[in-house]
Amino acid sequence: MFELEVKYSKLFTQKGKQEFERELQLVRQKLKSVDNIRFQKDSDIVDKMMTTFHEEKCNSRIRKNNGEYILPVFNDFLPYSKLCRKNNMVTGGSVEKEFCAREMLDKYEAIKSAKSAPVTKCISALKANEKARFEKDVDKALIALHVGISPQLKLGAKLNLLKETIRESDDNTKDYSEFFIDLNKYFKKQSNEYTSIELIAP
């Protein structure tokens, strides 16, 4: 700070009071100009980009792809929205194959015949069936872990019990990752007549 004061003092002496004040005013105007502010902003963006270029990226899109999307697909779980689309609701299409594998072909035909919000109705029907299928898998897992199940327990309570048992278990030989997937977003593919790649491809 002292060196800066000395430099300004010398400049003031060389230019005189009026010339110094005039140039100081011009500098202040320049600093407040739109072009300078834009240049400074762009420079700050570049500096920030260069300093963070090699840092590990952790934005929401990457988190979604790595944690909430890729893991389910590896376990044969797929988003409802990827299956239940109009272009998949054709004769012999992936929607028909999935409903057939779940013994819901009559339900699917009724939805198609109604012609009213078929995509929404397909998703609702598939979610209801998936919840029942999922609950059976939870029951099987609890029994395998020697955990007693009360008939009054609902799916949410069973799932919490299973997750707690898994966390306390020392057995690392079994994969329980499918029980940690959001059932409101994903279903487990039951048909072998179509591939997951068909649905997740852009």
| 48 and 81 in a common domain | no
In angstroms, the Cα distances linking 102 to 23, 79, 82 are 82, 17, 18
State the average pLDDT over residues 97-120: 92
**Per-residue pLDDT reduced to its tens digit, 5-32:** 555 566 656 667 777 677 767 666 655 5
- Which one is predicted more confidently, 38 or 111? 111
The helix/strand/coil state of 64 is helix
pLDDT of residue 62: 37
Contacts 24+ apart (CB under 8 A), 51-57: none
| 88 and 40 in a common domain | no
Range of the domain at 6: 2-52
Distance in angstroms (rounded) separating the CA atoms of residues 24 and 18: 10
pLDDT of residue 74: 66
Tally the domains of the chain: 2
Distance in angstroms (rounded) separating the CA atoms of residues 58 and 80: 26
32 within a domain of the structure (yes/no): yes
| 88 and 19 in a common domain | no
State the average pLDDT over residues 145-161: 87
State the average pLDDT over residues 129-134: 94
| 181 and 82 in a common domain | yes
189 within a domain of the structure (yes/no): yes
**Per-residue pLDDT reduced to its tens digit, 164-191:** 888 887 766 677 778 888 888 899 999 9
Q: Residue 152: CB partners within 8 Å, gap ≥ 6? A: none
